[in-house]
Structure 1
Amino acid sequence: MSKTLNNLMEAFAGESQANRKYLAYAKQAEKEGLPQVAKLFRAAADAETIHAHGHLRNAGKIGDTLSNLKDAIAGETHEFESMYPAMIADAEAEGNKVAARYFTFANKAEQVHATLYKKMLETMENPVDVDYYNCSVCGYTHEGAFEGDKCPICGAAPKAFYKVD
């Protein structure tokens, strides 16, 4: 990998993390009754997204939709087959039950995401028009309105689900 490509991917990772971090900071500011601080964090987060997308595009990592779906399937599969199991084992070995529990939630959600991407890959030419709902606790994604008693991954109540626009 060239130094520039490596730098683009490093910058993409950093900007992506900054986006997520600033959005978490914005939520905290809102909880503390500081809407103007939250607004600034959201503005900076949006700018970081612009940077991240530019770096990814300049690295040549955005393909056509078919390629992007295949890449997403590979990424999600890596996460639930390799990445999270190792992280769960590490957290358990260190006695960090909170981290192990949340890694487990994420691992199960990634399996669902891979399945949804595979389904879309198979029906891409004639997809079913469906809304998606996410569990705000664990990241489980559900096709259609969630009507269960609790999230199948983390056990959260139905009120934890929100429609993804």
Structure 2
Amino acid sequence: MSKTLANLMEAFAGESQANRKYLAYAKQADKEGFPQVAKLFRAAADAETIHAHGHLRNAGKIGDTISNLKDAIAGETHEFKNMYPQMIVEAEAEGEKVAARYFGFANKAEQVHAELYSKMLESLENPKDVDYYNCSVCGYTHEGEFTDSKCPICGAAPKAFYKVD
């Protein structure tokens, strides 16, 4: 890998993390009654997304839709088969029960994401028009309106689900 490509990927990772961090900061600012601070964090988060997308594009990592779906399946599969299981073991070994539990939630959600991407890839020529709903607690993605009594991963109530636009 060239130094430039490595730098583009490092910059992509950093900008992506900054985006997510700033959105979390914005939520906290809103919760504490600082709407203008939250607005600034959201504006900066959006700018970080612009940077991240530019770095990813310049690195040549955005392919056609079929390639992108296959890449997403591979990434999600790696997470639920390798990454999160190891993190769960390590967190449990350190007595970090809360982290281990949340790693477990994410692990199960990543498996669902891989399945949804695979399903979409298989039906790409004639995909079903469906809305997606996410659990705001664990990140589980549900195909179609969520009407169950609780999240199948974390047990959250239906009110924890929101429609993804």
Aligned to 1:137: 137
**What amino acid sits opposite 1:112 in the alignment?**
V
Work out the CA distance in 2 between the residues paired with 1:148 and 1:50: 37
Residue 27 of structure 1: how far off its partner (Å): 0.1
Work out the CA distance in 1 between the residues paired with 2:143 and 2:78: 22
2:146 aligned counterpart, secondary structure: coil
1:41 aligned counterpart, secondary structure: helix
**What amino acid sits opposite 2:63 in the alignment?**
G
Aligned to 1:58: 58
TM-score by length of 2: 1.00
5+ residue gaps, structure 1, are none
Aligned to 1:126: 126
Aligned to 2:108: 108
Work out the CA distance in 1 between the residues paired with 2:100 and 2:155: 16
- C-alpha deviations, 1:49-101, integer Å up to 9, x for none? 00000000000000000000000000000000000000000000000000000
5+ residue gaps, structure 2, are none
Work out the CA distance in 2 between the residues paired with 1:111 and 1:7: 30
Give the percent of matched residue pairs that are identical in Structure 1 and Structure 2: 88
Asked if residue 49 in structure 1 is aligned to residue 83 in structure 2, the reply is: no
2:162 aligned counterpart, secondary structure: strand
- C-alpha deviations, 1:23-43, integer Å up to 9, x for none? 000000000000000000000
1:10-159 matched pairs, under 5 angstroms: 10-159=10-159
How many aligned residue pairs are there?
Answer: 165
Q: Which runs of 4+ in 1 moved over 3 A?
A: none
**What amino acid sits opposite 1:130 in the alignment?**
V
1:152 aligned counterpart, secondary structure: coil
Residue 6 of structure 1: how far off its partner (Å): 0.1
TM-score by length of 1: 1.00
